[in-house]
Structure formats: C-alpha cells, structure tokens
Amino acid sequence: EVQLVESGGGLVQPGGSLRLSCAASGFTFSNYWMHWVRQAPGKGLMWVSHINGDGTSTTYADSVRGRFTISRDNAKNSLYLQMNSLRAEDTAAYYCARDFPRSAWSFDYWGQGALVTVSS
C-alpha cells in the first residue's frame, strides 16, 4: 500500500525557516517524480515544486523560487522541502504527492498534509 506521511510542520515567525519531510512507503520511491502542493486555510490548491527520481532536476512555483528548496534521499525513501524567508502568505497545509506515471504531472497519491503557520 502506498503511503506518504509528512512531518515537520509548525508555527514559525516571519522570516524564519522550516523543513518539511515526507516519508514514502509501498512503492519504489526512486522511480517517481515527487511534488509538494499547498493549500492555504479555506483556499484552493497550489502546486509548489517537483523533483525527479534521482534528485537532479527540480522546478518551483514563482512565489517560492529562491526561498524554498526541494530535495530527496532515496536511501531513506524521503522527500524534503526546506522553506526559508517564510512569509505570512506561506501559511498553508503542505502535501507531498506522487507523480502519476501514466499521465505526468498529475498526482495519484497524497500525504495527509503538514500545517505550516507563519505568524508573529
């Protein structure tokens, strides 16, 4: 059974940093592109970033480029999102999601989400 479990969310002050983790199981992690998608409270979904299977290719949404870094450790079956220079508008539930190989850039499995609150 495919499982994605995020951790590392919490309350952080504006300008601060936080690192999210996503533990994957039930599939060959290194074979899949992985994504981060976020959802502000009461709002819609926004794609944040993705990374290829061996970690050599990454892409970011304009609103987080230069502040967020996606990475992975295939030996640990883990995906990460390092978030720096956090702003109030980064407050959201952050989901890791697996790329669906039959239709690239769609998301077939999602974690339960990690809540990040940026506030003083």
Partner 1 sequence: DIQLTQSPSSLSASVGGRVTITCRASQNISSYLNWYQQKPGKAPKFLIYASSSLQFGVPSRFSGSGSGTDFTLTISSLQPEDFATYYCQQSYSNPYTFGQGTKLEIK
Chain residues in the site for partner 1 (CB under 8 A): 44-47, 59, 61-62, 95, 100, 102-113
SS3 54: coil
Note whether 93 and 38 are within 8 A (CB).
yes
Nearest to 37 by CA among 85, 118, 106, 101: 106
Task: State residue 77 phi and psi, 5-degree precision.
Answer: 50, 45
Q: What is the number of residues in the chain?
A: 120
- Least Å distance between CB 30 and partner 1? 21
Closest separation between CB of residue 119 and partner 1, Å?
A: 21
Shorter beta-carbon distance to partner 1: residue 44 or 66: 44
Output 17 or 112, the one with its CB closest to partner 1. Answer: 112
Write down the least CB distance from residue 34 to partner 1, Å.
Answer: 13
